[in-house]
Copies of this chain bind each other. A is one copy, B any other.
Amino acid sequence: MVLDDAALKKFGFIPRKAKDAINIDPLQTGGKLTEEASRALLEWGDGYSVCDYCDGVLDLIKKPPIEEFVHSALPEFLNTDVARITHGARESKFTVMHSMAKEGDYIVLDELAHYSSFVAAQRAGLNIRTVPHSGNPEYKTDVDGYATVIDDLIRETGKAPALAQVTYPDGNYGNLADVKRISNLCHRYDVPLMVNGAYSVGRMPIDAKKLGADFIVGSGHKSMASSGPIGVLGVKEEYAGIVFRKSPTHKNKEVEFLGCTVRGAPVMTMMASFPHVVERTNRWYDEVADARWFSSRLEDLGIMQMGDKPHNHDLMFFEAPVLYEISQAAKKGRYFLYKEMKQRKIHGIKSGLTKYFKLSTFQVGRENLKYIADSFEEIIDKYQKMG
């Protein structure tokens, strides 16, 4: 590629087509910016903006109140001893794995863990054992499986795993495992537990201490109405010295964060959205009610919701034999659903999917949810009449 005018014209400003659609992609519903965050983004957009006010440690900046946010507000929000901002949930997980375990150590993941948990462990050179789930249709993580896997590892390797992790909720079915029981089990073996709250922190009330979480992970761009990449990490005091250890040569720099992480606008968007985020977690039960209402509307159409039932989260996985059947005959084949939805300005069910798909109802609102459910109904009617 020669970087001449013709080539460069491809870059520059590019409009975002999905911007004005109703977005039910689980990745997107909790990351939509508030009005305040959009303003913060423009105000703090330039390069390293926040570093204008830095004396060497990003999370100790007093004005704007990043220190107060990271060292007071976030720990309170998560109910954890200490907190930091990171580049995202996966980077939080890697940081914990890399500091808590040594190459070759074992860690335990739930089988439903996000791929980035597996990859983070691989990057840290760790071995992985998984705790199974119950399979179709509930996909429930086997809580006692944590004890079984830890027992197995002790028997085989002579020592307990360095860390266990549970995904709360998992990113496929939106199931909320019984973390309290899992942490009790793990702690019996002195195995610290990391809770991946990528889909919970910023959506629903989270209390790390009540859950017995030694580490709590959140994703700003996924669930805290923040512009990515940004995440949070809460750590129990007991492990803070390990995870937040300082450089031997540069006394105020934390090694795992390479000195500092989010040196730019994302932290200002997280702070800008924070009042809204706190408030919306307090209204979580309305979100659960919306999810259940939507699930039952789809079930009436023959689209079956998998996972916990009644469901306790906005992230839901559906099995839709009725749509699959239509796709077999439809002119656009398996793309018919995506096209129909697109025409209705509904975005988020991946192009080509019909039989299985996931979606999120978070912050979509009852009126839009009704419109989406009606759209499903309309589409099914239309194709069934044609068929």
* A145, CB-defined interface residue at 8 Å: no
Residue-wise, chain A 32-45 has the 8 Å CB interface mask toward B (1 for contact) of 11001111111111
In A120-136, the 8 Å CB interface with B consists of 120, 122-123
Cα A94 to Cα B95 with chains together (Å): 13
Binds B, one of A174-182, A208-216, A260-268, A367-375: A260-268
A47 touches B32 (CB 8 A): yes
Number of copies: 2
Identify the closest chain B residue to A114 (Cβ).
B259
Identify the closest chain B residue to A73 (Cβ).
B1
Identify the closest chain B residue to A36 (Cβ).
B13
Cα A73 to Cα B11 with chains together (Å): 10
In A256-276, the 8 Å CB interface with B consists of 256, 258-259, 261-266, 268-269, 271-272, 274-275
* A16, CB-defined interface residue at 8 Å: yes
* A384, CB-defined interface residue at 8 Å: no
Residue from the list B23, B65, B103 in contact with A11, Cβ < 8 A: B65
Given the interface contacts A28-B46, A32-B46, A43-B15, does A52 sit within 8 Å of B347 by beta carbon?
A: yes
Cα A361 to Cα B10 with chains together (Å): 30
> Which residues in B have their C-beta under 8 angstroms from that of A18?
52-53
Cα A255 to Cα B123 with chains together (Å): 6
For chain A, which range describes its interface: under 10, 10 to 19, 20 to 34, or 35 or more residues?
35 or more
Most interface-central of A64, A90, A91, A258 (chain B CB within 10 A) = A258
A228 touches B263 (CB 8 A): yes
In A1-58, the 8 Å CB interface with B consists of 1-3, 7-16, 18-19, 23, 25, 27-28, 30-33, 36-49, 51-53
Residues of A near any B CB (own CB < 8 A): 1-3, 7-16, 18-19, 23, 25, 27-28, 30-33, 36-49, 51-53, 64-65, 68-69, 72-73, 76-77, 87-88, 90-91, 94, 98, 103, 115-116, 118-120, 122-123, 220-222, 225-229, 247-250, 253, 255-256, 258-259, 261-266, 268-269, 271-272, 274-275, 278, 347
